[in-house]
Structure 1
Amino acid sequence: MNNRVTEHNKPDKRSETVTKMWYEGFLKKRVLLLFLTPVSLLLLWLVQKNTDIAEYVFARGIYKFLSQGISFLTGILPFSVMELEILLLPFLVIGYFIYQCYKIVRSLYRKQRDTGYQVITGFLNAGCTVSIIIFLYVILCGINYHRYSFGELTGLTIQDSSVEELYQLNVALAKEASELRYTLEQTEGVVQEDGTVSIELFDWKETADKAEDAYIKASETYPVLGGNYHSLKTVYFSEIMSMMEITGIFFPFTMEANVNIDVPDYSIPATMSHELAHLRGFMREDEANFIAYLVCKQSEDPVFQYSGTMLALTYASNQLYKQDEDLYYEVQGLFSKGMLADLREDYYYWAKFRNTAISAVSTAMNDNYLKANKQSDGVKSYGRMVDLLLAEYRHENEFE
Structure 2
Amino acid sequence: MKRKHILPLLLVVQIILVKTLALFPEFVENWYSKGLYPKIAFVSRNVFGNIPFSVGDVMYYILLFLLFRWIWNNRKGFWKNWKTNGLTVLSWFSIFYFFFHFLWGMNYYRIPLHQKLNINKEYTLAELEVFTQKMITKTNAIQFEITKNDTIAVHIPYSNDELFELAQNGYKNLPEALNDFQYHYKSTKASLFSYPLSYMGFGGYLNPFTNEAQVNILKPKYNAPLTTTHEMAHQTGIGSESECNFIGFIAASKNEDVYFKYAAYSFIARYCLHNLEMMQEGKSEKFLKTINKGVLKNFDENEQFWEKYHTPIDTAFEIFYDNFLKANQQQDGLESYSKFVGLMIGYEKTGISDTGLD
Aligned position for 2:154: 197
CA RMSD in angstroms comes to 2.9
Please tell me whether the aligned partners of residues 277 and 291 of structure 1 are also in contact (alpha carbons under 8 angstroms): yes
Q: Deviations over 1:187-223 (max 9, x none)?
A: 9xxx9xx933223x42333321211221122164411
1:310 aligned onto 2:266: yes
Aligned position for 1:385: 340
1:81 aligned onto 2:36: no
Distance 1:164 1:100 in 2: 61
Please tell me whether the aligned partners of residues 204 and 215 of structure 2 are also in contact (alpha carbons under 8 angstroms): yes
Aligned position for 2:105: 142
Aligned position for 1:272: 228
- Max radius of gyration: which structure? 1
Q: Aligned ranges for residues 1-400 of structure 1 at < 5 Å?
A: 36-96=10-70, 127-159=90-122, 161-186=123-148, 195-199=152-156, 201-218=157-174, 220-324=176-280, 327-354=283-310, 356-395=311-350
Following superposition, the deviation at residue 94 of structure 1 comes to: 4.1
Letter in 2 for 1:302: V
Runs of 5+ consecutive residues of structure 2 not aligned to the other structure = 76-82, 353-358
Which segment drifts farther, 237-246 or 69-78? 237-246
Distance 2:60 2:68 in 1: 13
Please tell me whether the aligned partners of residues 168 and 183 of structure 2 are also in contact (alpha carbons under 8 angstroms): no
Following superposition, the deviation at residue 337 of structure 1 comes to: 2.1
C-alpha change, 1:66 and 1:330, in structure 2 (3 Å) is: same
Which segment drifts farther, 75-84 or 236-245? 236-245
Following superposition, the deviation at residue 95 of structure 1 comes to: 4.2
Percentage of identical aligned residues: 26
Letter in 1 for 2:40: L
Distance 1:153 1:306 in 2: 28
Please tell me whether the aligned partners of residues 105 and 208 of structure 2 are also in contact (alpha carbons under 8 angstroms): no
Following superposition, the deviation at residue 257 of structure 1 comes to: 0.9
Following superposition, the deviation at residue 90 of structure 1 comes to: 2.8
C-alpha change, 1:40 and 1:243, in structure 2 (3 Å) is: same
Instruction: Count matched residues.
Output: 347
Aligned position for 2:355: none
Letter in 2 for 1:370: L
Please tell me whether the aligned partners of residues 152 and 294 of structure 2 are also in contact (alpha carbons under 8 angstroms): yes
Letter in 2 for 1:386: V
TM-score (norm 1): 0.78
Distance 2:43 2:9 in 1: 26
Following superposition, the deviation at residue 393 of structure 1 comes to: 2.8
SS in 2 for 1:218: coil
Runs of 5+ consecutive residues of structure 1 not aligned to the other structure = 1-22, 102-118
Which segment drifts farther, 388-397 or 238-247? 388-397
Distance 1:324 1:38 in 2: 44
Which segment drifts farther, 302-311 or 167-176? 302-311
